[in-house]
Chain A
Amino acid sequence: MNWWCSATGRNWSWEWSPYLGAWILFLLLGVSMLLAWRKDRDFPLRRKFSAVIGLIILLIATDWPLATLGAGYLVSVQMARQVLVVFIAIPLLLYGAPPVVGRWLAAGQRRRRAFATITRPLVAVIVANAILIATMSPYFADRLISSQWGSFALDIAWIVAGFIIWFPLQPPTPLTPRLVGPFAMVYLIIQSIIPLPVAFFMTWAEYPLFSVFELAPRVFDSFDAVQDQQLGAAIFQVVGGLIIWAQIAFRFLHWAVERERSDLEEFEPHEETVPA
C-alpha cells in the first residue's frame, strides 16, 4: 500500500489500491471534528453536514481512483481534483469548521495578526493564485508528481490555497467575514479571472505541456495527451468557474434580499408618526 499518490509509470489498473495518507488525513480531520463538535453542542446541524460532505469530497480527491489517475495518468483528472479540493471541499470544511477553530484563531495576538494579514483580500488573491499557478506549471507539476512526497506537497499546496481563498469570505465561526456583499462578489470575480490565462494556455497549447501525463501509459486508447489537456483546462475553467459564479449569484441574491429588507425597515412608519 502506498501512502500517497504519485506517477508510477505502471499500466493503469482498476484494482482498488487506497492510499494510507489520504485515509489518515480523513480520520484525523473527522475525529478532530467530532471531538470539537461535542464541545459546541448547539453548533447548527447544517454546518456539521457541510463539514462531513467536505471531508468526504477531500477523501475522494486524495484517494484511489481519482488521485491515482490524476497523479499519474490524466491531467484532466488532476484538474478535477484541484477543483474538488480548492473550490468544493475547503469552503464546505470552513463552513462546517467547529467554533473551537475560530476561537483558537482569534485567541493569540500573533495568530490574530497572521490571520488578519492572510485574510486581506489583496494578500489572499496574490498568495492563493501564486500557489495555484505554480502547482499548475509543468516545471513544478512534472517534478513533484513523480514522488509520493512531491505529490503530497502538491495536494497540501491546494488545501492551503483553498483556505486562503475562502478565509476572507467564510472564516470559521465565531470570526466574521472580512468581505461581504459587493466586496465579496468583486473578490470572487477577481479570483475567477486570475487563473484563466493558465487555463487558456492549456487549451491552446500545440503540444502536451506536462511530460508526466504525455509519457504516462494511456488509460483510454483514443484519448491522447493533448485532448486530455484540453479537457483539463475545460474542467478548470468551466466547472471551477461555475462554482465561483454560483457563489457570486448566491451572494448577490442574499445581499439584494438583505438590502430590500433593511430598506423596508427604514421606511416602515413608526407608531408615533402615524397620523391620528
Chain B
Amino acid sequence: MALLFFGYTSCPDICPVHLGILSAAFDDLRLDGGRPDVAFVGVDTARDTPQRLRSYLDGFDPEFVGLTATPSAIDEALGQLDMPSVVIDPEGKGTDYIVGHPSQILVFTPDNLCHITYPFGTRQQAWEEDLPRLENQIWPSDR
C-alpha cells in the first residue's frame, strides 16, 4: 500500500498537520503487510531541494520518502490524477510566496489503484481505522 501527497516544505498549516497525524497513526498501527509507503512530492521546486525534503520529512518519520521534479512534470502527474495544478502566489517575488496545492492524500491499495482520497481534516482515529481495511481492499463506496 502507498500514500501519495503533494505538498511543500514551507507550508505553514496543511502539510505539517497532515504528515504529523499520519506519523502518529503509523506509530500505533501494526499492519500485516507492513507500513505503507508514504511519498511526499515537494511541489515548490525552487525551495524543495532533495536535502530540504529529507530533513523536513525526518521531522515526521524517517521512512517517509521525498520526491520532486520539474514544475511541468509535477503538473502533468497531478493532471493524470485528476487533481488541480500547483499555483504559486505571487509569482516571481523571490522566496516570499505561498503555494496552492491539493490538500488530499491519495491511497494506492495493494491492487495499485487509488480508490480513495483523504482530505485535510482526516483525523488520526480515521487513519487507524481505515488503513487496515484498505490493506484488505475494503473501502467505502461513497468516498
Contact = CB atoms under 8 A, between A and B. Distances in A.
Contacts of B13: 9-11, 217
Contacts of B125: 206-207
A215 interface: yes
A211 interface: yes
A214 interface: yes
A207 B20 CA distance: 13
A260 interface: no
A214 B16 contact: no
A217 B28 CA distance: 21
A221 B61 CA distance: 12
Contact of A217 (B16, B123, B124, B128): B16
Contact of A226 (B12, B16, B24, B120): B24
A10 B12 CA distance: 8
A211 B124 CA distance: 10
A88 to B, nearest CB: 32
A149 B19 CA distance: 31
B17 A207 contact: no
Interface string A189-207: 0000000000000000011
Given A207-B124, A207-B125, A214-B123, A225 B24 contact: yes
A224 interface: yes
A10 B28 CA distance: 28
Contact of B17 (A10, A206, A215): A215
B21 interface: yes
A240 interface: no
A207 B13 CA distance: 20
Contacts of A9: 13
Contact of B24 (A211, A216, A217, A224): A224
Given A221-B59, A225-B24, A226-B24, A207 B123 contact: yes
B110 interface: no
A226 B13 CA distance: 18
Nearest to A226: B24
B24 A215 contact: no
Interface of B: 12-13, 16-17, 20-21, 24, 28, 59, 120-121, 123-125, 128
5 contacts: A11-B12, A214-B124, A215-B121, A217-B12, A218-B17
Interface of A: 9-11, 206-208, 211, 214-218, 221, 224-226
Given A217-B12, A217-B16, A221-B16, 7 more contacts: A10-B13, A206-B125, A211-B121, A215-B123, A218-B20, A224-B20, A225-B124
Q: Which A-B residue pairs are the 3 nearest by beta carbons?
A: A11-B12, A207-B125, A217-B13
